[in-house]
Amino acid sequence: MAFKKLSSLNIKMILPLHGPVYRNDIAYILDKYQKWSTYEPEKKGVIIIYGSMYGDNENAAEILASSLSEDGVMDIRVYDASMVDPSFLVSESFRVSNIVLIAPTYNMTIYPAIDVYLDDMLRMGLKNRTFSLIQNGSWCPASLGLMKKKLSLTPSFKFTATEVTVSSSVNEKTREDLKKVAKEIVQSL
Ligand SMILES: Cc1cc2nc3c(=O)[nH]c(=O)nc-3n(C[C@H](O)[C@H](O)[C@H](O)COP(=O)(O)O)c2cc1C
């Protein structure tokens, strides 16, 4: 609404409450503001955010990324939540349409690095994204249900149908499930 009012003005400079003063590329910046403020993804693309203690979820992330690539998706990025600052993961979540979360179950909770990302992203009020959820657990997997509970508080979030459970490491069944998830993501893009 406010952006419509501004559209007739010849804007020379933007001085935001937070961040740098913009003197150049005003149209580019206004386009970003428009998308961020309406929660419209900048790109039809996929980020895969995984947590991994022993490498199995990293493997699942790579398998899913390969399947997506085989299915023709061009914009795919894979992030290790333990290595990338959550603020960066949040900005990536504003950029793309689809977010895949792969989380170990950690003493019957969500693996901490994924949980920190989730809370930060929810605090920023992101909307209108499609999530695909994958959990890992060796004896009593619980992270998927807990992630879904948090995400379900935002009514505009959608979920792809197949929920994947990795039992410690990827096997033939989970490999097939991951391929299914890739197809569902392609359909939702
Ligand atoms: C500290 C710790 C706590 C764990 N807690 C659980 C748990 O509560 N329930 C469960 O089923 N698995 C639990 N696990 C097993 C992990 O979920 C599983 O080993 C991990 O997801 C495997 O994926 P990764 O190889 O990518 O680390 C735990 C593992 C560790 C190291």
pLDDT tens by residue, 5-45: 877 888 999 998 888 999 999 989 988 888 999 999 999 99
Q: Which residue's CA is minimally distant from atom 29 of ligand 1? A: 106
Mean pLDDT of the chain: 95
CA 37, distance to chain mean position in Å, is 18
CA 137 / ligand 1 centre spacing (Å)? 5
pLDDT of residue 162: 97
Q: Are 140 and 105 in contact (CB under 8 A)?
A: yes
Q: How far is CA 185 from CA 47, 52, 53, 64, in A?
A: 11, 22, 26, 10
- pLDDT value of residue 58: 98
The two tokens of residue 34 are: 């428009």
pTM of the model as a whole: 0.94
CB-ligand 1 contact for 51 (6 Å cutoff): no
* Structural domains in the chain plus CATH codes: 2-36 (no CATH), 43-188 (3.40.50.360)
All residue ranges of the chain with pLDDT < 70 are 1
Does the C-beta of 168 come closer than 6 Å to ligand 1? yes
Q: How far is it, in rounded angstroms, from Cα 33 to Cα 30? A: 5
